[in-house]
Amino acid sequence: MNADSPSAAPGTNRDIQEFVRALPKAELHVHLEGSVRPRTLLELAGRHRVDLGVRDEAGLRARYQFTDFPAFVRTYVTVCDCLRSGEDFALITQELGHDAARQNIHYLEATFTAVRHVQATGLPFDEVMDGIAAGAAAAQREYGVTMRFIPDYPRDFGVEGLMQTVDWAIAGMDRGVVALGLSGMENEVPSLPFAPAVARAKAAGLYFAPHAGEIAGPQVVRDCLAMGADRIGHGIHAADDPALLEELRTLQIPLEVCPTSNLCTGAATSLADHPLRRLWEAGDFVTLNSDDPPMFNTDLVQEYALAATAFGFSAAELARLSLNGARAAFLPATDKAALVARFEAELGTLGAPLS
């Protein structure tokens, strides 16, 4: 390791921040709606006459103190209500790309809940998707960030409606859609009844990236694996089942772990109890993500810093986490190989050890 590189002595907080900021990154679990900048959200709320119950960014920060997962969902829905046009989606997508570039995020997959927008505002899916695609093109052009997208469907919206989201996802494949997501109240609504719609999406060439094992136990993860999950959103409660941990390790199914989010929503009770380290030491395919960064007062740089300071990840482990993000991307083989090679080259320039 070069003694002058930021990875040479990641012992102090400043060293850690410099090192993790310089790491090449991919973010695979981030919600488009949950990433809206507070100032932008206030402007959109004013434009569309949506009452946020607050008037300034300080008020928003206070509102973003969640007591449990349902409280988070209620606030998330209010944010969704502020998005009323294709131009709104173009704006927040481009801003997400700008925020990614500042963190040295080269590749990003953003989840968005199309059904909420179509049902709540009557905005056609194509207008939503065209806006998102326009924002992604601008982010690629202006900041060099590659973005892909995952329409998700909340389980609590009912089994019948998922086919519509599948249709939208398939229609959006020419504009950057790469996967189907499944979200919502996994602890209340079983996942297996959604299997036929998921099978249709996968037959069309889409990946499947459900939320599972976030606020419910290991069985939901098992159910999603049975449905053909290619990655698992969160997946932290897989750590409660050693046999499932071994199955995930054997299959090398990536886990999209979001530590700060888990603390804020109550999915984990404390950093001491969060299973990030156990998942890693079990040999599972762990990636690190921010979920809804402004809502949880975090970003991907902070998540990497937290891995170092709270979970004891070494410089070599942080570099491997970084590389895992590229390796888990939903990209064609040649594009993924190019992304991995770019990460390896940048990590080599940093002097980051990979073993």
Return the closest-CA partner of residue 177 out of 235, 83, 111. 111
Task: Write out the two tokens for 291.
Answer: 């979920």
Task: State the Cα–Cα distance between residues 185 and 155, nearest whole angstrom.
Answer: 6
Q: Catalytic residues, which ones?
A: 214
**Confidence (pLDDT) at 5:** 36
What is the torsional sign of CA 299, 304, 305, 310?
positive
**Confidence (pLDDT) at 12:** 58
Fill in the amino acid letter for 28.
L
**Confidence (pLDDT) at 276:** 98
The dihedrals phi and psi of 291, each to the nearest 5 degrees, come to 70, -80
**Confidence (pLDDT) at 10:** 53
**Confidence (pLDDT) at 139:** 98
**Confidence (pLDDT) at 73:** 86
Q: Which of 67-71's residues contact partners 24+ apart within 8 Å by CB, and which partners?
A: 67/266, 68/265, 68/266, 69/215, 69/265, 69/266, 69/267
**Confidence (pLDDT) at 4:** 35
**Confidence (pLDDT) at 14:** 66
**Confidence (pLDDT) at 323:** 98
What is the torsional sign of CA 264, 267, 269, 271?
negative
Per-residue pLDDT of 253-302, as tens digits, reads 999 999 999 999 999 999 999 999 999 999 999 999 999 999 999 999 99
pTM of the model: 0.93
What is the torsional sign of CA 328, 140, 172, 335?
negative
Give every residue of the chain whose pLDDT is below 50, as ranges: 1-9
Fill in the amino acid letter for 133.
A
**Confidence (pLDDT) at 303:** 97
